[in-house]
Chains A and B, each alone.
Chain A
Amino acid sequence: MPHQVPWLIWLSPMFSFIIISLILRPFFNHHPKLSGYTTIAAIGISCFLSFWVLIEVLKAPGHRLEIPDIQWVVIEDGISIHLGLIVDALTAVMLIVVSVVSLLIQIYSQGYMHGDPGYPRYYAFMSLFTGFMLGLVMADNLVFLFLFWEGVGLCSYLLIGFWFHRPAAANAAKKAFIVTRLGDFGFLAAILFLFYHTGTFDIERLHSLAIAGTLAGTTLTWAALGIFSGAAGKSAQFPLHTWLPDAMEGPTPVSALIHAATMVAAGVFLVARFFPLFEHSKVALTIVAVIGAFTAIFAASMGLVMNDIKRVVAYSTISQLGYMMLGLGVSGVAVGIFHLFNHAFFKALLFLGAGSVNHATGTFDIREMGGLRRVMPWTYITFIIAALSLAGIYPLSGFWSKDEILIYSFKTQPFLFTLALITVFMTAFYIFRVVFVVFGGEYRGTKLAHHSEHKLHESPAVMVIPMVILAFFSAVSGWLNLTGNFGEFLGHGEARGLLEGFFGILGKPLPWLSLIVAGLGIYLAYAMYSTRRISPEAVGRTFVPLYTTLSRKYWFDELYERIFVGKTLVNGLFVGLEAFDTYAVDGSVNGIADKTIATGRALSRVQTGQLQLYGLFIAMGIVAITICFYFFG
C-alpha cells in the first residue's frame, strides 16, 4: 500500500471542503447539488481507502502499519515537528466507523436537507468535520490530535448552530462549545503536563514510557485524568453531559453523524488511544469506569420521560457512551471499542429514523405522532431493528458488545454491574416507549391538519436506502466478534468457533439475565403505551417528585445557568476559558473580555494625539529603563 493512502483518507474530505467553499459556493451557488456530490465523492474515496487500510492492517504483523513521518518544520538546534500517522487496529476500526457512517449520512442528507438555502454550507461543514474526524483517529502526536480535536469541536459548534437564526440553535451551539471547552481545558493541561514531564508529544512514545514505568505514580494519574476530562467533555459524560441533548437543535443528520456515531465517540476513542496510560493508573481507570456507569444510568433515567424523540435518543447516546467508558474501565480497549463500533451503526440509524419521521410529520414531539407503521414501513422496520439492537436483544449487534461489558463488570465491579443492569432495563423501556408511541396506535398529529393536502408519506429512496444499509449493519456488526476476531484484532480476546460463539453464549446465565431484564423493559413499555394496561398518567401521578426531577433533568441546566450565567464564578472561570477559547469570539465570553476592553479603552485615552505627551512618554521610558538597570542590572 502506498504511504500516501492514509494521508489521502483525511485529506480527501478536506479538499472537498476547500472546493465547496472556494469554488462551488462563490461561483456555482445556483447548483447547490454539486456540493453534495462533491462531499459524497470525497467521503466515498475515504471510505474505499479506509477499507484498503483495514485489509492492510489485518495482514500486517502486530496489526500496525509503519507510515514514514513527514518532516514538516525542522529547525536547527530547535524543535522539529514531524507529521505522522498511527495506523493500527484501533485506527482502522475507527476509520471504518467514521467513513462508512459519514458516507451513508451524506447520502441521506441529500433528501433531508433538500431545498435548504444553506445546502452548500451544510456540505462544506460536513466535509470539514469528516476530514477532522478522520485526522483525529490517525494523529500520532498530541499537538495534532488536539488540533483535530478542536477542529471537530468547531464543526460541531457550526453545525449545531446551522440554523443560527433560531435562537435555540444559536444558544445550543454556544452551550455545546463552552461545556466541551471546560473538558478541553483539562485535556490541554494534561498535554502540557505530559510534555513538561516527558518532553514529547508523541503518543506512542508516551505509551512506551507508561509501559516502561518511567511515567508513573501521581504524574500518570493526573495526566490520565486530564485526558479523561477532555474525553468526558466530548463524550458528554457526567457532569459535562448537559450540552448533548441541546445539541439536537442541529439538523438531524448532523445529530446522527456528530452527536451519535462519531464525534461524541471521540472521547471514548481518546481514552482507548491512551489506554496504556490508564492501564497503569488504577485510580484513573476506576474513575473512568465509575463515571461511565453512573452516566449510563443517570442519562437513561432522563431518557424515560422525554417527549422529544431526538432527545430520547440523545440521552440514550449519553447513556451508551457511559457504557463504553465502563467497558474501557473494566476490561480494556477491545470491549469499549466494540460497543462503540456497534453503537455507531444502530444509533446513527435511530437518528436517521427520527429524521425520517420528522420529515413526514414536521415535528419531533412523539405525542404528535402515532400509527406511523402503516405509512412508513421502511422507517418502522429499520427503527425496530435499531431499537432491538440498542435494547440488547439476541442476536443483534448491541447484544454482543453490551453483554461483554456486563460480563466484565460483573467480574470486577459488582456494584457497577448492578447499575449497568438497571440501565439495560431502562434502555429497553425508553426506546420501546418511543417505538410504541410513534409507530403504534393511531395518528394524533395536529400539525398537518392545517394543510391536509400534505399527506403522511414514506421518505424518499435517497433517505431510505442508507437506513436500510445501516439496519443491516445494526443487525450483524456484532457478529464480527463471534470468533473473538474483533477482540483479538484490538489486542485481547479469546478465540472460539463460529457456532460456539453464536450459540454458546446462550448456555451461560448472565446473558439470560440481561435478556430477561431487557425483555421486562420492553414488556413494561408495551403494557403502558401499547395496550395501556398500565396508565402512564397514573404512574406519572404516583411518582410526581421523581417524574419532575427527571423531566427537569435533575435541574442541571438550572444549576449551570446559576454558575455560568450568574456572574459568580464566571469571571474567574473565563480567565482560563478565554485563553483557550479562540473560536467563540464574543457573546459567549464576555467575562474577561469586558475587563480587557475596559483596560484597552483606558489605555487608549493616553493616546490623545498630543505630541508633547508622546515626547514626555519617551523621556519617561528612557529614565525608567535606566533606573531599572541601576537597581536590577
Chain B
Amino acid sequence: MTVLDIVFWLLAVISIGAALAVVFLQNIFRAALFLVLCFFAVAGLFITLQADFLAVAQVLIYVGAISILIILAIMLTREMWRGNPGGRFQLPAFIIALGLFGVMVWAVINTSWQISAELPLVPTTAAIGSRLFGEGGLLLPLEIAAVLLLAAILGAIVLVREK
C-alpha cells in the first residue's frame, strides 16, 4: 500500500463522514461548512487519482463558487436558528438508503471491470481541451450548455422579480 493509497482512503473516509454530517446536523450553517469540507475531500480524491484538472475545477467551482453561494443564502435566510426539522421517515429512510447502498456495492463489486492498461496522462488539461474542441470532440454538448446557461439566466431573472 503506497502513501497515495493511504491518502485516498483517508480522504474517502473524510468525504463520507462530512457528507453524513451534512445530513445529520441540525444547524444549517455547520452543515454547510461540512459540505465545504466534503468538496475539498473530493478534490483531494481527484488529486490522488491524478486528475489534476478536475481537482482544480472542483475547488474553483464547488468550493469557490457554490459553497460561497450556499453560505450567502443561509445568511440571508430568516429564522435560520430553527435549523433542519427532523423528518418522520428517519427509520424507513435509513433502511432504504442501506438497501440502495447494498445494491450499489453489490453491483460494483460483482462486475468484472475492464481496467485500462494505459498510464494516466499528466497533465490532463491540454488533453481535455483538445477533446472538447478538437476534431470529433464534444462541441455539441458545449453548445447546448450555452443555451442551458441562457435558460438559467432567464429563470433567475424571472424568479427574483417582485410579485
Contacts and interface: CB of A to CB of B under 8 A. Distances in A.
Interface of A: 612-613, 616, 619-620, 622-623, 626-627
Contacts of B93: 612, 616
B100 A612 contact: no
A604 B93 CA distance: 20
A612 B96 contact: no
A616 B89 contact: yes
Contacts of B96: 616, 619-620, 623
B87 interface: yes
A623 B92 contact: no
Contacts of B87: 612
Nearest to A608: B88
A627 B103 CA distance: 8
Interface string B103-115: 1000100000000
B74 to A, nearest CB: 19
A616 B94 CA distance: 10
Instruction: Specify the main secondary structure of chain B where it touches its partner.
Output: helix
Nearest to A623: B99
A622 B99 CA distance: 10
Interface string B59-97: 000000000000000000000000000010100110011
Interface residues of B, number: 10
Contacts of B89: 612-613, 616
Given A612-B89, A613-B89, A620-B99, 5 more contacts: A616-B89, A616-B96, A619-B100, A623-B96, A623-B100
Contacts of B107: 626
A624 to B, nearest CB: 9
Given A612-B87, A619-B97, A626 B103 contact: yes
Contacts of A622: 100, 103
Nearest to B99: A623
Contacts of B97: 619
Contact of B92 (A616, A626, A627): A616
A616 B97 CA distance: 8
Interface core residue of A613, A623, A627 (most chain B CB under 10 Å): A623
A348 B109 CA distance: 82
A552 to B, nearest CB: 62
Nearest to B103: A626
Contacts of A626: 103, 107
A484 to B, nearest CB: 82
A627 B89 CA distance: 22
20 contacts: A612-B87, A612-B89, A612-B93, A616-B89, A616-B92, A616-B93, A616-B96, A619-B96, A619-B97, A619-B99, A619-B100, A620-B96, A620-B99, A622-B100, A622-B103, A623-B96, A623-B99, A623-B100, A623-B103, A626-B103
A613 B89 CA distance: 7
A61 B87 CA distance: 83
B70 to A, nearest CB: 19
Nearest to A615: B93
A623 B107 CA distance: 12
Contacts of B99: 619-620, 623
Nearest to A620: B96
Nearest to B97: A619
- What are the nearest 6 A-B pairs in CB distance? A623-B99, A626-B103, A619-B96, A612-B87, A619-B100, A620-B96
A620 B98 CA distance: 11
Contacts of A613: 89
A632 to B, nearest CB: 15
B100 to A, nearest CB: 5
Nearest to B98: A623
B111 to A, nearest CB: 13
B19 to A, nearest CB: 16
A404 to B, nearest CB: 77
A612 B97 CA distance: 12
A609 to B, nearest CB: 13
A502 to B, nearest CB: 90
